[in-house]
Amino acid sequence: MPLPAHLTQRNGELYFEDVALDHLAQQHGTPLFVYSKAAMLDALSSYQRGLAGRDHLICYAMKANSSLAILQTLVRAGCGLDIVSGGELERALAAGCAPERIVFSGVGKSRDDMRRALELGIGCFNVESRSELDTLDAVARSVQRRARVSVRVNPDVDARTHPYISTGLKGNKFGIAHGEVLETYRHAASCAALEVVGIDCHIGSQITESSPYLDAMDRVLDLVDAIEAAGIRLHHIDFGGGLGIDYNGDTPPAADQLWPQLLARLDARGYGDRKVTIEPGRSIVGNAGVCLTEVLYTKPGEHKNFLIVDAAMNDLPRPAMYQAFHRIEPVKPRAGDPAIWDVVGPVCESGDWIGRDRALTVQAGDRLAVLSAGAYCMSMASNYNTRGRAAEVLVDGQTTTVIRQRESAADQMRLETLLP
């Protein structure tokens, strides 16, 4: 199977751009996340090509990977940011994002978060319930600002993805049900401190087909027809994120293929003049990162062979949470017949696995690269078992920059106090 872009085998070693991964692991220790700037910018440019010539804003969904240097790279390349918490708002600012290029998503924004975002003048709140609308109106009045809002609608389409990351179906907590959207817009338009500017939808994540997007577009545009017929003008249409990546032979449409199709529908329905906002996360950073880990022990057994590595579910939570598949490749492949291994971490849980039944030729001390680890790994990492979070390195050609130091035990205990 071909390797993700900018990851190559050279002289029997795995390289990210022009940097040997084994050397990086030796220098900085493991587990270590390594990102390729070129891979990130290539993924972004596919969207930029797909939306070229249109009034658009690509708000990178920073929940996928919110490390400051990653945000900074994408902001410098023209991205706005999609945030879901007050913490993400502060990160967005720290990374240099202009507040008006921020959209604020999520079902549970706090009053404090709303206030701060209003004072900064963010671009848009994507509102998910009637009571959130009322709270936002009240908070905006209290700080004498007007909140620009979109209502997140639930188009009730099946994104055909993992149930935990499917968000556009009726049974989900997300968005406002189709039948209640018009009434919600009427209400929003009547709130003095709210300014209705758009409509928003996001149907799920790791979507590997075009059809859910095309269906959602049709359903959203039906709503736009009705809302505008009621005299409420929508300046932008936000189609969320969700485009999948290739983890294991998956074949999602490329952004520069999908978007021309979606724009053609917009044109056909008479909305070609509207600004298009999108919130991609995984598809920008997912295949731009790997996690390097060292084999601590080999533990062959009667029923299973285990490779115990120094990365764990606290670093790479996706297999434990979603039974997700990440390819695992030796950083310096060695000759010999492979054995079948379960690759597991040191955490005291049977759920702490990274890959199952993998054919690998390895010995203790070898290093492995867990691929497609740029999205929803570091940003979901925890300190379970008091494991410090991994260090991160950004590669740009031959240049490497440590963008996050390894977390120490002292870092983890900093906010705690012993009893007197």
Residues that bind ligand LLP (CB under 6 A): 61, 64, 82, 105, 165, 202, 205-206, 240-243, 279-283, 318, 322, 376
Q: Closest approach of Cβ 322 to ligand LLP, in Å?
A: 6
Q: Closest approach of Cβ 252 to ligand LLP, in Å?
A: 10
Q: Which is nearer to ligand LLP, 173 or 334 (CB)?
A: 173
Q: Which is nearer to ligand LLP, 40 or 61 (CB)?
A: 61
Q: Closest approach of Cβ 107 to ligand LLP, in Å?
A: 9
Q: Which is nearer to ligand LLP, 13 or 42 (CB)?
A: 42
Q: Closest approach of Cβ 56 to ligand LLP, in Å?
A: 15
Choose the catalytic residue: 97, 124, 191, 348. Answer: 348
Q: Closest approach of Cβ 228 to ligand LLP, in Å?
A: 23
Distances (CA, A) of 25 to 32, 34, 368, 383: 7, 9, 10, 21
Q: Which is nearer to ligand LLP, 286 or 330 (CB)?
A: 286
Tokens 């994104």 belong to residue: 159
Q: Which is nearer to ligand LLP, 65 or 400 (CB)?
A: 65
Q: Which is nearer to ligand LLP, 317 or 388 (CB)?
A: 317
Q: Closest approach of Cβ 65 to ligand LLP, in Å?
A: 9
**Distance (Å, whole) CA 152 – CA 201:** 5
Asked if 124 is an active-site residue, the reply is no
User: 10 Å Cβ neighbour count for 36?
Assistant: 26
Residues acting as catalytic residues: 348
